[in-house]
Amino acid sequence: MHIFFNRMPVSGPWGGGSKVLTAIIEECHTRGHSITNSFEKKVDLIFCMDPRPDSVSSYDILLELRKRDESPIIQRVGDLGTHGKPELYDLVRSTERFSNYFVFPSKWALERSGFVGKNCEVIQNAPLSNFVRQKKSAISRPLQLITHHWSNNPMKGFDFYSELDAHCKNSTQLSFTYIGRKPEGVSFSDCHDPMDISGLIDNIGSKDVYITASKHEAGANHVLEAMALGLPVLYHDDGGSIPEYCEGRGYSFSSLEDVIKILDDDKKLKDMSEFSLYQRDSSDMAKEYVDLFEKVYESKH
């Protein structure tokens, strides 16, 4: 197949979307499929990673391409506009009658979209293979907590992190590390700028417990990276896909008091040290995407 992608990967410390793209494209090449973001040649399939227009294409252009080449469109719905972008949800809904198939990164995202009953499939995100460990590290007191976000959107939970950081300053049993971008005016005692994969692996992998206060995440890559490195996860009740992703490998909370109670519980700590390792990686995810590409293509021929 000759497949048109309306987005291409970018290098550097960007969010999960770029990592998803990289893995899918590598799997396409492994199977002998070619990738393009040029309109000059005939294409067999169109993969719309993001329906928002950019300097290369818009959804109208994709529709013209579909009409020209009779190529089905697979629309990935990676964001439902829950992080302050309601117009994105409207745009996603506007593609419903044009796209041939939809992929969601979680059951939560599919159900929230209202697309139930359509040509839809859930393919969960997954971390790069670099993150996947074969052995867990022991959890011991004092406990080192960590989180990382490449977005500074308030929905990532910065109010909670500030509260947690203040608590840790006065504790001999807890410490908190933040890696990533943050809103202007927000600071933490132990804070690091976005870093490359090796830096993330070293920093996250050396800690005891991962914590995230992010809400309404359609497909939360940050918790997948932490679980692959062997860390149990404390996650907010309203995390969207996060409770789904972390099932069996963490505990939920709704307040700082909940977190302190969990971490003071020796039995819960023992249970967390025995959680099974997360072994699925981006190559597994990419295989599911390319399986879908081939299925949709074959159904049209």
Residue by residue, DSSP assigns the chain as -EEEES-----SS--HHHHHHHHHHHHHHHTT-EEE--SSS--SEEEES--S--SS--HHHHHHHHHHHT--EEEE----STTT-HHHHHHHHHTTTT-SEEEESSHHHHHHHT-TTSSEEE------GGG--SSPPPP-SSEEEEEEES---GGGTHHHHHHHHHHHHT-SSEEEEEEE---TT---SSEE----HHHHHHHHHTSSEEEE---SBSS-HHHHHHHHTT--EEEETT-BHHHHHTTTSEEEESSHHHHHHHHT-HHHHHHHHTPPPP---HHHHHHHHHHHHHHHHHHT-
Asked if residue 30 has pLDDT above 90, the reply is: yes
Q: pLDDT category, 15, cuts 50, 70, 90?
A: low
pLDDT digit string (tens) for 280-293? 999 999 999 999 99
Closest CA to 102 of 78, 125, 82, 77: 77
The whole-chain average pLDDT of the chain stands at: 91
The two three-digit tokens of residue 165, written as one number: 């950081």
pLDDT digit string (tens) for 226-248? 999 999 999 999 999 999 999 99
Which domains are seen in the chain, by residue range? 2-126+282-299 (3.40.50.2000), 129-273 (3.40.50.2000)
Q: Write down the pTM of the prediction.
A: 0.90
